[in-house]
Amino acid sequence: MCGIIGILNLQDLPPPSLEELKPMITRLAHRGPDGYGYYTDDHTGLAHARLSIIDLQGGNQPIHNEDGSIQVVFNGEIFNYIELRRALEQLGHQFYTQSDTEVIVHLYEQYGDSFVNHLNGQFAIALRDKKQQRLILARDRTGIRPLFYSVTGGRLFFASEVKALFAHPVLKRRLNIKTLGEIFTYWAPLPSHSIFEGVSTLPPGHIMTVEKGKPCISQYWDWQFLTDIPDQRSADDLAAELKELLIDSVRLRLRSDVPVGAYLSGGLDSSVTTSLIKHYTDVPLRTFSVSFEDDEFDESSYQKQLVDYLGTNHSHVLCRKSDIHALFPKVIWHTESPILRTAPTPLMTLSAKVRSEGYKVVLTGEGADEVLGGYDIFKEAKIRRFWARFPDSRIRPMILDRLYPYLENSPMASRAYSRHFFRQGMEQLDKPYFGHIPRWTTTRRSWQFFSADVKAELQDHHSHATLENMLPAGINNWKPLNRDQYIEAHTLMSGYLLSSQGDRVAMASSIEGRFPFLDHRVIEFANQLPLRYKIMGLNEKYLLKKAMKGIIPESIRSRTKQPYRAPDSQSFFNNGKPVEYVEHLLSEQRIDQAGYFDSQAVTRLMNKCRKGRAIGFADNMAFVGILSTMLLDEMYIRSSSTMNDGIHGDQDER
């Protein structure tokens, strides 16, 4: 894990200098506290901040080929580098390090731009081919590692995080209002978009090549589903194959020259990863978890069950509401995006705990729900499609009562309300995003808090046309669940879970997360499964549970999924009084100054939260979204503030 930045001249301009590169890369010190490396030529400047995990002595970047004509800086890990190195050496390539980075150099020499197809890993890569006067940027298949870029002043700037781009004075700072509308709908920017005007992301599974001053972006991998899914193999046979794939994926992700730990949430997915480490590897099992003072969010009893079952060396950290409001500004400094829930904050606390225990790498269960059909939204959509065939039926919607037993304020508490909520979008059964309409409609209620100017700018963006235009041409021919999975993976997962709730809060403490369920071989296997092996009736992740029989405790294997959540608006008030920075940022004067929101509407929401009456999802999402947007404005747009200095100042001292 590391941080990378670069500058490429697209026109005839002076070469990038070290004086330009150094302020950019030092802004990423938290991603790579173990040292810096630089490369410059007539058109290109590359820099790297290193977090030493593999080849601790000889893996300093940039890494080059035999004659130095190819240079690579790289953020991430190539898990199959040992096998790739062996094959490349047989083809005559000579290595000078033990680093996984060097296989990228020689793969490119051997296979050209298709080198990415050989990689099993999580990565953002910048490769300079000086002989051919080319630059290549590549991002891993599912978007685990970030890569941002901006074209301005005849140059291409790129970096692992936007804060590094903004360390160069030529880049301007302004929030992108259309993307703000996307976040307040989908929880995340749509692929290639960022919250900052003029800054884009390289989408997951894409590669950018730049020749003769012209960037060209192409896709090398995507989630693919069959229109007709073969149903010839038994569940036992498929479960055995899934188990072997996951064992191999875990083994690959344990490759490291430093100790590797694992997150243990108490749910099925982290129980799978920790149990596979225990039973099928010789790596000492070291686990970490977060607990809450509020029983509604706490899963420590399930965590203890698994710790006792596995006999793991375990540490946990208690996250209080006071911790959430204290850390939230730092979270937003790292997420570089508005967020609608506080859930990343406890995970930042957890990553700090991991680092304090001397670990740099953890395995997590992220991705299992998207890959194997675990989310409640998939079950919702299944019921709603069943109901939509007979929309006047009184019996069919009663199945909805079986959802959300873990929510204190469940939409199922009122049958009339739940019928109204889930009936939303019934007339759009033919849309590929049918399953997501109730959720997105609830989130978009937050638009009521936008200012008149923002609403005017968003007036042409009330439909989901932008999203629909990004979807693959054949998506309507896929099975309904597969359509739901694709959209979930390309919105919430890549844009929020792997970013704000993943890479950013882990790397804030220089911790690398690894995700066995997002091995592309696991995804490709799961994408060919008959649907009933993902959701059997309303039993989610059926095949995964079957594969884990006898390996994890039965109480956890048979447990209904409870998604990870954290206290939201209630975390920012003490006895009805907002904490100091909240009171300042959400004051009518400050809201009007920023111009994103209607100050009177925000005041009404504040008063509701102050009195403890914001108990629904919509109010909580609106509050957290508004507060995080204002923090972003404070730290990135009005960057001379003392709050901003305090947030990023501690990073530069590392």
pLDDT at residue 58 in the model: 60
Q: Are 207 and 220 in contact (CB under 8 A)?
A: yes
pLDDT at residue 416 in the model: 62
Q: Are 557 and 239 in contact (CB under 8 A)?
A: no
Q: Are 626 and 582 in contact (CB under 8 A)?
A: no
- CB-count exposure of residue 589 (10 Å: 0-12, 13-18, 19+): exposed
Q: Whole-angstrom Cα distance, residue 620 to residue 626?
A: 10
Spell out the domain ranges in the chain. 2-176+188-219, 232-285+298-331+343-443+462-560, 569-652
Q: Whole-angstrom Cα distance, residue 574 to residue 604?
A: 18
State phi, psi for 48 to the nearest 5 degrees. -145, 135
pLDDT at residue 402 in the model: 65
pLDDT at residue 647 in the model: 47
State phi, psi for 121 to the nearest 5 degrees. -175, -170
Residue 651, CA distances (Å) to 32, 334, 475 in order: 11, 10, 44
State phi, psi for 230 to the nearest 5 degrees. -60, 145
Q: Whole-angstrom Cα distance, residue 20 to residue 91?
A: 39
pLDDT at residue 648 in the model: 44
Q: Whole-angstrom Cα distance, residue 478 to residue 227?
A: 5
State phi, psi for 4 to the nearest 5 degrees. -130, 150
Superfamily designation of domain 2-176+188-219 = Aminohydrolase, N-terminal nucleophile (Ntn) domain (3.60.20.10)
CATH no., domain 232-285+298-331+343-443+462-560: 3.40.50.620
- DSSP assignment string, 76-102: EEETTHHHHHHHHHHTT---SS--THH
**Per the structure block, which two tokens stand in for 151?**
């074209």
Nearest CA among 158, 134, 124 for reference residue 24: 158
Q: Are 511 and 360 in contact (CB under 8 A)?
A: yes
Q: Whole-angstrom Cα distance, residue 431 to residue 480?
A: 10
Residue 77 β-bridge partners: 122
> Which of left, alpha, beta for 133 (phi over 0: left; psi -120 to 50: alpha)?
left
Q: Whole-angstrom Cα distance, residue 52 to residue 447?
A: 44
Q: Helices marked H in 228-267 — which ranges?
A: 235-253
Q: Whole-angstrom Cα distance, residue 197 to residue 171?
A: 10
Q: Whole-angstrom Cα distance, residue 394 to residue 401?
A: 13
The CA R_g of the chain, rounded to the nearest whole Å, is 24
Q: Are 147 and 546 in contact (CB under 8 A)?
A: no
**Per the structure block, which two tokens stand in for 258?**
């430093």
Long-range pairs, 538-541, Cβ under 8 A, ≥24? 538/379, 538/382, 538/383, 538/399, 538/402, 540/369, 540/373, 540/374, 540/375, 540/378, 540/379, 541/268, 541/368, 541/369, 541/372, 541/373, 541/374
Parts of the chain with a pLDDT under 70: 1, 54-58, 391-402, 404-421, 640-654
Residue 361 β-bridge partners: 260, 512
Nearest CA among 15, 9, 7 for reference residue 42: 15
pLDDT at residue 1 in the model: 59
Nearest CA among 553, 507, 87, 509 for reference residue 279: 553
Active site residues: 2
SS3 letters across 187-236: CCCCCCCCCECCCEECCCCEEEEEECCEEEEEECCCCCCCCCCCCCCCHH
pLDDT at residue 334 in the model: 97
Q: Whole-angstrom Cα distance, residue 449 to residue 624?
A: 12
- CB-count exposure of residue 610 (10 Å: 0-12, 13-18, 19+): middle
What is the DSSP-derived secondary structure letter of residue 595?
A: -
Q: Whole-angstrom Cα distance, residue 315 to residue 596?
A: 42
Q: Are 74 and 104 in contact (CB under 8 A)?
A: yes
Q: In what order do the strands lie in the sheet with 155-159?
A: 36-40, 44-50, 2-9, 155-159, 148-152, 200-201
Nearest CA among 464, 550, 513, 33 for reference residue 275: 550
